[in-house]
Structure 1
């Protein structure tokens, strides 16, 4: 243990690979020069941080889906899995949109999951065809498929959905996703700086 309680740490030099000792002054400066003869390389030290996931409890919304046909309908998302379909048991119950006498959306069609990425401080949106039934690991897939950018999702495929990405249910009914972006001022109040990590150097 060094001065002021800083724990002296050994890291591998990014240039020569030999061990060098990081002192408190090096950590504060954010870099350390290798002291081995013939090297002298400057090693950047990376401080790690993340954001406390308790932030999600205070968010006013989690984004929404907008139906791109008529009538325009907006469906707010919740944190966690959002089961989308025409059934009353769905998190997001959509209308039975009829095309030439048929509805192409299954009763429990797909799942859009909203999570929080503690490293980037952003909400993450992932979609997959089908849904899991309560207390069962088995996935039941939609009859007519789920499409992202005109490509049909494969079974068991979990895809990130970008802001303003368009999902097509059953190959016919299109929905645009609008992300919720956490305000930077709010995000900063949940910032957690971690102790210097010797395994994370640039």
Structure 2
């Protein structure tokens, strides 16, 4: 990885790839010494004659790069890369807390059942303080008798539902969430 860049000016950006070529693009970026991140999750696929555990991208067709905005052009010639995700005509910056949430989700994608309840309501921002998702910043939702947290990646307009025991959660004050 090329860390000779000025780390103070580096930010996270999303690179859009051709469908089902995220892993190859990720490998090519590493060969070009580009600091890239591809969040993957393990999933079991079943065919009529067998089951197989696969690693699939958490967000299909996206890879995240950590670099200066002026260097994003270096990603475009890499085979399988389509474009840089843009917002209002400029490269969309991905917040570090969103990258950290993706890291936590991809490191352990198991579902967790609800146990004890804490005093959170739908729409409250929470932090996971225990278990494999510790450190995750999310929004709590309620559906019927189930409680879940939704991990939002606002920069991409994506969200993920994760079942986590509410006893593993701590309610965040609005000012705490904004700082993250």
TM tier relative to shorter chain:
under 0.3
Q: By percentage of residues, which structure has more helix?
A: 2
- Taking structure 1 as the reference length, the TM-score comes to 0.22
